[in-house]
Amino acid sequence: MADATTPAPVDDRPYSPGLEGVIAGETTIALVDGNNGRLIYRGYPIGELVRNGTYAQVAELLWTGEWVAQAHLACAPLSDRVIASLRNLPASSHPMDALRTAISTWGAETSPPWPATVEQARAITALAPSALAAFARIRQGLDPIAPDPSLGLAAGFLYQLNGSRADEGRARALDAYFMVGAEHGFNASTFTARVITATRSDIASAVCGAIGALKGPLHGGAPSEVVSQLHEIGTPENAAAWIDDALARGERLMGFGHRVYRAYDPRAAALREVAEGMGNIAEWLRLAVAVEDIALQKLAEKSPDRPLKTNVEYYTAAVLQGVGLPPDLFPSTFALARMAGWTAHVIEQVAANRLIRPDVRYIGPSERHLPGAV
C-alpha cells in the first residue's frame, strides 16, 4: 500500500489552457489564416465565394469538396412532432434552446445511423431554418408557414419568418452571411461536434452539442451586443467621445478583436461589401462604417503593439439588423449558417475516426487514507 505521503507522479508534459496552439486534428475543409487575414474553404477564398456563389453551393463544397454550380438547398417541411415540440416550449425560451429541441426531436424520430452521410447533412441543414422560423412565429401566437421549395435557404427562412418574400437585396445579404458563417476551423462548437461524433454518436446528437456550445456568449453572442453598442452611440458625431469614454472605463469594444485573426477579418470585409449594396439600410451602414473607422483609430492609439481589427460580428450586426431580424435571433441565425460546417466536420470525422480523448494533469492531493482506515 502506498504511503500517505506518496506524492502524485510528476507530469511535466506541456499544458496549454483552452488548448490554444494545440494541433488537435487535420482537416481538408477550411484554412483559417489569422496572421494574414485569410479564410479559405477547400482552396477558395471567402471573398470570392461570397461575390460569386450561394450558400447552397458553398454547403455542397464543404460536404463533398466539389463545386456544384446547380446546387439548390431549400428549407424542409417540419413533421408534426417537431412542430408540437416547439409549441410545447414556453414563449420565453431562448431561440437556441428551441432550435436544439427541434433538432433533437428530428433525431429521435428519424434515428439517423452512424456514420453520418451527406444526405443526413443536407436534411438537418434544411430543417434548421424552418424550425427557427416556426418557433419565432409560435412565440408570437402565429402559425408556422410551410416552406417554399423554389426559394434558397436564406430567402426561404425569411419567407417562413415573415409570411412574405424578401426583396432580392435582403435575401442576398442573408445568404452572404450564411456563407461567411458556414465554417471556421476547430472553433468550440465544431470541436464539440467532432468529439461527439468520435464516440460514434449520430449527427443529430453532434449538432445538438454544437448548438449548446454556440449558445455561450463567448462564442455566439457578440452581434446582438454590437447592435446595442451602435444604438448607444447613436450618430457618427458621438462616436469618438463614446469610444474614448468606453476605453477609459476599461470596457471592450464589441465587434473588434478575435481569438485567431490578427489582421482584418476577411469575413467582415466580405459582409461590408455586401452590406454596402443594401440600399434599405443606408443610414445603419453609414453609422457602422463611421464608428468602425473611428474605433480602429482609437484602438491603434491605445494599444499600438496589440492589433485589434474588425471581426465578423461587427458587420453581422449590420446585415442581420438590415434584413429585419430581432437581435435575440442573431445567435440562432449564426447556428443556421454554421450547420454546413458542423456537418461537414462530422462527415470528415467519421471518415477516419478515432475517439477524441485527451489526457489531463492531476494537481489534487497526494494519495491519502480515510481516518481510521489504516
Task: Name the amino acid, one letter, at 199.
Answer: T
* Known catalytic residue at 313: yes
Q: Identify the residue with better confidence: 232 or 275.
A: 232
> In this structure, what CATH number is given to the domain that contains residue 162?
1.10.580.10
Kindly provide the residue ranges of all beta strands, DSSP E only, lying in the chain, ordered along the sequence.
30-33, 38-41, 44-45
Which domain CATH number covers 250?
A: 1.10.230.10
* Whether residues 206 and 108 fall in one domain: yes
Can you tell me which residue has the cell 436544439? Answer: 100
Q: Are the CB atoms for 107 and 322 separated by under 8 Å?
A: no
Q: What are phi and psi of 310, to 5 degrees?
A: -65, 135
- pLDDT of 279 reads 64
By DSSP bridging, strand 38-41 and strand 30-33 are antiparallel
pLDDT in the model for residue 6: 65
- Active-site position among 60, 183, 313, 348: 313
Same domain for 237 and 150: no
Top-confidence residue, 221 or 304? 304
Range with the lowest mean pLDDT among 202-211, 244-253, 258-267?
Answer: 258-267
Segments forming the whole domain that contains residue 214: 73-220+340-351
Mean pLDDT over 105-119 rounds to 97
- What is the rounded distance in angstroms from the CA atom of residue 279 to the CA atom of residue 300? 31
Confidence of residue 157 (pLDDT cuts 50, 70, 90): very high
Inform me whether the pLDDT recorded for 304 exceeds 90: no
User: Do 121 and 269 share a domain, yes or no?
Assistant: no
Band the pLDDT of 327: cuts 50, 70, 90. Answer: confident
* 362 DSSP 8-state letter: -
State the cell numbers at 85.
415540440
CA distance linking residue 336 with residue 321, whole number of Å: 16
Same domain, 112 and 258: no
CA-wise closest residue to 14 among 356, 260, 357, 361: 361
| 24-49 tens-digit pLDDT | 999 999 999 878 888 999 999 999 99
Q: Residue 93 pLDDT > 60, yes or no?
A: yes
Catalytic residue among 183, 184, 258, 345: 258
In this predicted structure, what is the pLDDT of residue 288? 85
41 forms beta bridges with 30, 44
The verdict on 82 and 215 lying in the same domain is yes
Q: Angle, nearest 10°, between helix axes 203-215 and 118-138?
A: 50
Is 258 an active-site residue? yes
The verdict on 227 and 306 lying in the same domain is yes
Considering only residues 120 and 303, tell me which one the structure prediction assigns the higher pLDDT.
120
Question: Looking at residue 139, what DSSP letter applies?
Answer: T
pTM listed for this prediction: 0.90
**Confidence (pLDDT) at 1:** 46
**Highest mean pLDDT, choosing among 19-33, 69-83, 158-172, 355-369:** 69-83
